[in-house]
A and B are shown apart, each in its own frame.
Chain A
Amino acid sequence: MDINPAVKAYTNLNITDEELIEAPKKSSMGLGLLSRTRKQEPKNNLTEPRDRVRDYVNTIRKKRKQINNGR
């Protein structure tokens, strides 16, 4: 019987491998004076604690992957 709440808390974040792959940044078009006004990217407003925790775990996991891939 699984009685450790840590296991549930950890697995319930459901972080997929796709989330760990960093998306390539878009080109810096539209920075000129005559360029069209660039639409601002939606900011990540992580208000819920669960989302923030997910974000922290994601960040650490990315770093962890870097360590493992570097070996």
Chain B
Amino acid sequence: MTAEVGGRPWQNPPKYTTVEEALEFYIPRLTSDEVYDALLDSMELGIPLTTMADSMQSTAVMQGLHTIDVGILAMPVIIEMLAFIGDDAGIEYTLGTEKVIDEDKISQSKIALAMKKMRETLPKALDEGHMKEDMQEPDMPVEDTVEDEPQPSGLMARRV
């Protein structure tokens, strides 16, 4: 599970130390035949360009190609380049920067708060409920009411 210090690629000096060097690595790759089709497929599937750029730079950081700082700096250029490729190919893509406000969506914190309040109030309510039930007389058994079934009215029908 653990490794020696320097045993991982990201623990060693990066291959590309500046933004320009990193971009010289990325941009030819983005336009290469191997990656190009996969990129267009991902765009058509609706994967946001920001997500694609983020995963690209994270992978490169893990491979020890550049540092996180350089990756963060290079990301806007990668996103813009992806958008350029999408526009050039005539594909409708999502950048991922659009703010979607879903009014029906309740935030996790609000749900947690409501649950906490419920947990606090529920035992009290249950106790009060039991007390009231004990005070009340037992209910009389309810007779089953049988609805009048329609009588068969045919000539051959049995008469009751």
Chain B CB within 10 A, most for which of A4, A6, A67, A71:
A6
The A-B contact count (CB < 8 A) is: 66
Whole-angstrom distance between the alpha carbons of A7 and B75 in the complex? 9
Chain A CB within 10 A, most for which of B18, B51, B53, B80:
B80
Chain B CB within 10 A, most for which of A9, A11, A68:
A9
Whole-angstrom distance between the alpha carbons of A50 and B75 in the complex? 11
> Which residues of chain A are near B79, meaning CB under 8 Å?
6, 10
| Interface pairs (26), CB distance under 8 Å | A4-B50, A4-B51, A4-B54, A4-B96, A6-B51, A7-B50, A7-B97, A9-B72, A9-B73, A9-B75, A10-B95, A11-B97, A49-B18, A49-B19, A49-B73, A50-B73, A53-B74, A54-B76, A56-B23, A56-B80, A57-B80, A60-B80, A61-B80, A63-B84, A67-B84, A68-B87
Spell out A's residues near B (CB within 8 Å). Answer: 4-7, 9-11, 13, 49-50, 52-54, 56-57, 60-61, 63-64, 67-68, 71
